[in-house]
Amino acid sequence: MMPARMYDLTALKAPVEQTPVVCRDLVSAQDFSPEETKSLFELSHIIKHRPADFRGALAGKQLVLFFEKASLRTRLTFEAGMASLGGTSLFMDQTRSLLGEREPVRDIARNVERWVDAVVLRTFAHSTIVEMAHHTCIPVINALSDLEHPCQAFADFFTLEEKFGDLSQIHMAYVGDGNNVAHSLMLAAAALGTSISIATPEGYAPDAEIVATAKRIGRTTGAFIEITHDAVKAVTGANAIYTDVWTSMGQEAEAAARTAIFTPYQVNEQLFSHAAPHAVFMHCLPAHRGEEVTASVIDSPRSIVFDQAENRMHIQKAILLLLLGSGMRTSPPRSNHA
């Protein structure tokens, strides 16, 4: 039998006392102040053009991704982005068993905070993300919920800034369902001083509380927030026209009824003719050609949908750096949506 090995522990350093920090989350687009949102964009520009400068920035950090919904862009951009920063990603497929079904979300939260450095969630219920953030001491990032899609919205306006420059001079028109994407676009537009018009059918307008919050923020930044049922009014003179699918995951039973209701809100050549001559088309993808947008629009040179998709990775790398590697993990204004 081999003799037990003896270890000299005297060389180990005593633990260094650290000042406790308050964890920051990205549950809602409003969790980043207007100043922080602008800083996020500045960092994203640097990361995109000088990626080598950030290799190893998150070395040793581990990220867990809990996904209740299928994903292409969200999963790959987070995993590729984390890897390029030197960190590791762990993927948990929750498409067959939603978070909270096997054990309470609060128990999951208290477990994962002992193993990893941050949590990314793509869920149906927004309350799942709120509960996870409430019960864990590590950053929680909303990668999509039924109420918001903040990473997408930040990437979208970052793309517009690349295209047009000063976002305070931009008018975005969103046409379609007043859904999670519309909510985060409004909040991001408000923070950035961008004007946005949301055109939806009656009964499908955005959440009234989020509209009120966006307008309140907009009064301090100069953003104009408009809610209408008139698609032509919304897109007239717009620099960008944005749409999303009419039926989101989990709403499949409503597909036929929604198609009949939303058909007048299709983004086609006729609707696009009311926008500014230089206007671009935007979509968070996946798109259903022939439904919310025609192939002639999404496949035209004015479409920037793949630029948006690329920028998801750059903006999310900046989010990870800010939440895991900077003084942004202090004094958080927690969003009120549950």
Active site residue 151: no
Cβ–Cβ < 8 Å for 226, 190: no
152 in active site: yes
30 is catalytic: no
Give catalytic status of residue 149 as yes or no. yes
Options 126, 258, 266, 284, the catalytic residue: 284
Q: Is 312 noted as a catalytic residue in this protein? A: yes
Q: Which of 24, 73, 126, 149 is catalytic?
A: 149
Q: Which of 30, 94, 152, 308 is catalytic?
A: 152
Length of the chain equals: 338
Catalytic residue among 146, 171, 244, 258: 244
Query: What residues are labeled active site?
Result: 122, 149, 152, 244, 284, 312
